[in-house]
């Protein structure tokens, strides 16, 4: 049986450079002759994604629990597509995933385990690259402050929850769904961030015979 492709998730605070780095990573994979597909959450193109988009732009108000479930549902919309692509040998690079879902909603005060529950059993990434940057450095970048969660206290809380998730992902008890979480210093130049990411991705591009894991 031929190996399946790896599932790579890019996480980070707002403006940490995720979208920039996802594009660079896709280009590098394709230049190496590796089929690769970029996905982004929230995927604002679906019906659910359009509701999320309006909420993030403060064009609508939704209960905190409801918007959390919509973010999760937006991932489930693409779960079978992710699995199919991996089995077909296409590397999936995902700009944000369930970790963002937990970090942002828990930062609003919703219980951590409640936030995790709807994402349990989603396909687990083989590698999560967390682009770490201080909220101050992120705020100095273009376009900051246009959307709902781009406020300093919120970003500080989100960062603390990402650190907790990182400890869990690299800790014991993850069983088959255990997947590596690597923190990358996102305050470096774009080229340095991209090199640091590639050092972790390149050893995986030949694929794997491990089954696709499930989150948590």
> How many residues form the binding site for Na ion (CB under 5 A)?
2
Interaction partner, residue 149 (Na ion, ligand T5A, none; CB < 5-8 Å by kind): ligand T5A
Q: How far is the CB of 207 from ligand T5A (least distance, A)?
A: 26
How far, in whole angstroms, is CA 101 from its chain's centroid? 9
- 14 forms part of the interface with Na ion (CB under 5 A): yes
Q: Cβ of 207: how many Cβ atoms within 10 Å?
A: 16
Side-by-side strand order, sheet with 91-95: 36-40, 91-95, 7-12, 127-132, 180-185
**What is the contact mask toward ligand T5A in residues 149 to 188, using x (rule: CB under 6 A)?**
x---------------------------------------
Distance CA 1, CA 73 (A): 32
Which lies closer to ligand T5A via its Cβ, residue 196 or residue 212?
196
Q: How far is the CB of 85 from ligand T5A (least distance, A)?
A: 19
By CB under 6 A, what part of segment 76-105 binds ligand T5A?
96, 100-101, 104
Distance CA 100, CA 155 (A): 11
Q: Which long-range contacts (CB under 8 A, 24 or more apart) does 31-36 make?
A: 32/205, 34/5, 34/91, 34/205, 35/5, 35/88, 35/89, 35/90, 35/91, 36/90, 36/91, 36/92, 36/93
- With 0-12 / 13-18 / 19 or more C-beta atoms within 10 angstroms meaning exposed / middle / buried, residue 5 is buried
Q: How far is the CB of 101 from ligand T5A (least distance, A)?
A: 3
Stretch that binds ligand T5A, among 9-17, 84-92, 163-171, 201-209 (CB under 6 A): 9-17
- Reduce the DSSP state of residue 181 to 3 states and report it: strand
Q: How far is the CB of 147 from Na ion (least distance, A)?
A: 5
Q: How far is the CB of 127 from ligand T5A (least distance, A)?
A: 18
By CB under 6 A, what part of segment 15-54 binds ligand T5A?
15-20, 41-42
How far, in whole angstroms, is CA 143 from its chain's centroid? 20
Which lies closer to ligand T5A via its Cβ, residue 15 or residue 159?
15
- 59 forms part of the interface with ligand T5A (CB under 6 A): no
Q: How many residues does the chain have?
A: 216
Interacting residues with ligand T5A (CB under 6 A) = 12, 14-20, 41-42, 56, 71, 96, 100-101, 104, 141-143, 147, 149, 189-190, 193
Interacting residues with Na ion (CB under 5 A) = 14, 147
């Amino acid at each position: 049986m031929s190996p399946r492709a790896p599932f790579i998730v890019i996480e980070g605070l707002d403006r940490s450079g995720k979208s920039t780095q996802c594009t660079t990573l896709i280009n590098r994979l394709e230049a190496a002759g590796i089929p690769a597909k970029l996905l982004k959450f929230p995927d604002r193109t679906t019906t659910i994604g359009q509701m999320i988009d309006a909420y993030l732009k403060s064009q609508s108000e939704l209960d905190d629990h409801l918007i959390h479930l919509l973010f999760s549902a937006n991932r489930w919309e693409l779960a079978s597509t992710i699995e199919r692509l991996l089995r077909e040998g296409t590397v999936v690079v995902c700009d944000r995933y369930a970790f963002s879902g937990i970090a942002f909603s828990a930062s609003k005060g919703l219980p951590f385990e409640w936030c995790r529950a709807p994402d349990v059993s989603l396909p687990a990434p083989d590698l999560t690259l967390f682009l770490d940057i201080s909220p101050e450095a992120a705020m100095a970048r273009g376009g900051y402050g246009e959307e709902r969660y781009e406020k300093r206290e919120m970003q500080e809380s989100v960062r603390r929850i990402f650190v907790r998730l990182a400890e869990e992902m690299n800790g014991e008890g993850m069983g088959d769904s255990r997947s590596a979480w690597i923190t990358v210093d996102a305050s470096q130049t774009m080229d340095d961030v991209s090199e640091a990411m590639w050092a972790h991705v390149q050893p995986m591009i030949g694929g794997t015979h491990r089954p696709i894991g499930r989150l948590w």
